[in-house]
Amino acid sequence: EPTKLWGGRFASGPAEAMAALSLSTHFDWCLAPYDIAGSRAHARVLHGAGLLTETELEHMLAGLDELAADVETGRFRPVVDDEDVHTALERGLLERVGQELGGKLRAGRSRNDQVATQFRMWLRDATRRVVAGVLDIVDALNAQAQAHPEAVLPGRTHLQHAQPVLLAHHLLAHCQALLRDVQRFRDWDARTAFSPYGSGALAGSSLGLDPQAVAAELGFDGAVDNSIDGTSSRDFAAESAFDLAMLAMNLSRVAEEVIIWNTAEFGYITLDDAWATGSSIMPQKKNPDVAELARGKSGRLLGNLTGLLTTLKAQPLAYNRDLQEDKEPVFDSVQQLELLLPAMAGMLGTLTFDTERMAQLAPAGFTLATDIAEWLVRQGVAFRVAHEASGECVRVAEVRGVGLEELTDEELASVHPALTPQVREVLTVSGSIASRDAHGGTAPDRVAEQSRRVTTMVAEH
């Protein structure tokens, strides 16, 4: 006889297709440890309310310990008749402590407040693991930055050569985005740290239970203020799906650059063999699959967010079974990132940069034109005029097929009288980079400071 959490008013059991549709143990079984932790806390407040004797509490807790151990070793598993993780664990408890005592634990709680609480607990733990994985990537990028303090590359806008920058500055830009992702998880956690346990099905409990005590035992900052909200809101889930999608999106931008930098045309990087794949037909191939999977999975995580929001849209208060659809997209986003994050850290940490090629390309495409204009501004020329003059230098150099630094004294003077040979002091990549020394700029000292701050932020988490 399967354990049913309801049935008193039913003359028959569910139809086969009904039961198949209802089933969720194949994805919600990961909530089992949290369900049992909730049951322990609930047993204690039942005891506190005088609804379990001391001896009953002891037997209950012993039964739950045994159940937890059997779940952990896999000795206890859900069977097809268990609708969800909560039903399965109810059966497991009844098998261990008997129907009489086991049946008492259901008082004053509902799967609605249980699942809302356990989902929050699972996600709070999961996002801590995700954050650790993100920090490893930040570490890997920051280590590359520190290993290449002088390497330069053509910084780009519109994917066109724009101005030369330090490679370290470029890599640290990705660190900044990833550290904001980490902060976002922290902010989210502070809002999610409230327990719905004790909300019952929707209206709260009449049995003199103590939701705050349960919340404290389960590691929350407090209990939710509204039982209707506690059982039916899933903005914490949608928000985490966003945070996870945003993280994946940021990773896709790093990934896209790895893919481009790895082409023969760019030739900036070589992938370590351990983090690349070959082709089944073309023997020469070495493909950036880690980066491509990162790029691909970002679409999947965006889909998870979109799907979840669509499920939540327009649901009336309070709990509706639609809400069972909340978990798979978020679980999937976390699982994908748990696969992706270590691989990204490994790939990025082992990249070899062809710094010579990057240095060669850094001034190409007249990336120092802005430096001529700004040098003229420092000589008192209006920027509007300086911009024109620098543009003309580009035109002259382009016609003659030379770089800006190769323009003759006469060519410079004919473009603008203020363009003396001294302008050549900014017509080097290193001179240009060193001149951008305000806070946040690409000058070596500023970038070194930035890298140290990133190190500190990682250490503080």
Using CA atoms, how far apart are residues 293 and 331, in angstroms rounded to an integer?
A: 18
Q: Which two tokens stand for residue 101?
A: 């005592």
Judged by CB under 6 A, does residue 321 bind ligand ARG? yes
Q: Which residues are catalytic?
A: 158, 279
Nearest to 241 by CA among 317, 179, 188: 188
Contacts by residues 85-89 (CB-CB < 8 Å, ≥ 24 positions apart): 85/24, 85/25, 85/28, 85/29, 85/31, 85/32, 85/35, 86/5, 86/35, 86/111, 86/114, 86/115, 87/3, 87/4, 87/5, 87/111, 88/25, 88/29, 88/32, 89/32, 89/35, 89/36, 89/39
Which region, judged by CB under 6 A, interacts with ligand ARG, from 108-116, 122-130, 257-265, 383-391?
108-116
Judged by CB under 6 A, does residue 323 bind ligand ARG? yes
Considering the complex, what minimum distance in angstroms separates the CB of residue 12 from ligand ARG? 17
- Among residues 192 and 252, whose Cβ is nearest to ligand ARG? 192
Judged by CB under 6 A, does residue 169 bind ligand ARG? no
| DSSP-assigned states of every residue in 236-260 | HHHHHHHHHHHHHHHHHHHHHHHHH
Considering the complex, what minimum distance in angstroms separates the CB of residue 232 from ligand ARG? 10
Q: Is 160 helix (H, G, I), strand (E, B) or coil?
A: strand
Judged by CB under 6 A, does residue 324 bind ligand ARG? yes
Q: What is the DSSP letter of 319?
A: -
Using CA atoms, how far apart are residues 91 and 3, in angstroms rounded to an integer?
A: 6
Give, as ranges, the residues between 221 and 240 that touch ligand ARG (CB under 6 A).
none
Which region, judged by CB under 6 A, interacts with ligand ARG, from 9-17, 186-194, 321-329, 330-338?
321-329
What contacts 77, CB < 8 A, 6 or more positions away?
A: none
Taking residues 47 to 86 in sequence order and writing x for each that binds ligand ARG by CB under 6 A, - otherwise, the string is: -------------------------------------x--
- Among residues 37 and 348, whose Cβ is nearest to ligand ARG? 37
| Sign of the four-CA dihedral 113, 85, 33, 342 | negative
191-214 in b/e form (b: 16+ CB < 10 A) is ebebbbbbbbbbebbeeebbbebb
Which region, judged by CB under 6 A, interacts with ligand ARG, from 204-212, 317-325, 348-356, 385-393?
317-325
Count of chain residues binding ligand ARG (CB under 6 A): 10
- Among residues 319 and 366, whose Cβ is nearest to ligand ARG? 319
Taking residues 261 to 300 in sequence order and writing x for each that binds ligand ARG by CB under 6 A, - otherwise, the string is: ----------------------------------------
- Among residues 23 and 37, whose Cβ is nearest to ligand ARG? 23
- Among residues 163 and 324, whose Cβ is nearest to ligand ARG? 324
Among 3, 23, 24, 234, binds ligand ARG (CB under 6 A): 24
User: Which amino acid is residue 331, in one-letter code?
Assistant: F
Which region, judged by CB under 6 A, interacts with ligand ARG, from 228-236, 274-282, 320-328, 396-404?
320-328
- Positions touching ligand ARG (CB under 6 A) are 24, 28, 84, 111-112, 115, 319, 321, 323-324
